[in-house]
Amino acid sequence: MSENQKSKVKQSHRYFIEVMYKGTNYAGFQVQKNANTVQAEVEKALKIFYKQEFELTGSSRTDAGVHALQNYFHFDVADSFEYHKDHIYNLNSILPADIVIKSLKKVSDDAHCRFDAMRREYSYFIYRKKDPFIADRAYYYPYKLDMDLLQEAASILKEYKDFTTFSKKNTQVNNFLCNIEESKWTVHKDTVEYTVAANRFLRGMVRALVATMLKVGTGKTSIKEFREIIESKECKRADFSAPAGGLFLKRVVYKD
C-alpha cells in the first residue's frame, strides 16, 4: 500500500447511528426509489445539518408500516467531520416527529451494523378490545384464544432451524436457517404480546409466525398440523396476514 493510500485509509472513520421510529408513514427502513423511507429521512437530516452527503448502511430492514424501538445505521466520514453530542438535538429538530436519533457513536473502522449484530428481538402486539389509540401499533384480533396452545406453538419453534415456510418468496438470502433463542406469548392488561429473538430473521418471518400461530390459538390448526407446516418448507402453507402495524423491532444486540 502506498503512502497516499495509507493516508486515505486513515482519513476514514465509521459511526453508528441508533434510531427509533414509528413506521406508519414510511415505505420501510431502507431507501427506495420514489418512496419515503426512514433511511431517506435520516440521510436528508444529516445532509442539512452537516452540509455534506451521507451514504447509510442499515442494520435490520423493516417493512412498510413496521416500527422500531432500536435500529442502526452506519456511515463513513473523513477526519474533517466534527461531531458533538449536542448535535443529536439539532438532528432531531430536523427529522419528522416520528423518527428519533437516540445516539451517534464512533466505532472501529471495520464495525458493521448489519453483519456484527448477534441478536435481534421483535415484539408483535395484539389487542382484543376496540381501541382507536393503539390501532396503528397493534393488531385488532377480538377472537377467543387458547393461550396454552399459543405458548406451545411458540415453544416448538425453538426446536427448528429451517424457516423456509415463513419467508416470502421474493428474497435474496442464501439460506433460510435461523437460531431462535426466545419465543413466547405474554398476556398484558389490554394486549397480548409475542416476543421472538434470533440471530437473524427472514423477509416477512415474524408476521407469518404470528398469523400462523393465531390459527393454532383459535383451534383452526392443530399442534400436529403446525409442525407439518414448519416442516413442509412451503410458504403457501403459512399465513402472512398479520398487519405490519403490530410489529416492533425492539433491540439489536452487538458483542461490544
Which residues form the catalytic set? 63
Residues 231 and 188: beta-carbon distance below 8 Å: no
Question: Is 27 strand, coil or helix?
Answer: coil
Say if CB 71 and CB 59 are below 8 A apart: yes
Cα–Cα distances (Å) from 138 to 24, 91, 112, 164, in that order, read 11, 29, 31, 26
CA-nearest of 165, 187, 185 to 176 is 165
- Cα 149 from Cα 214, distance rounded (Å): 9
Whole-angstrom Cα distance, residue 76 to residue 90?
20
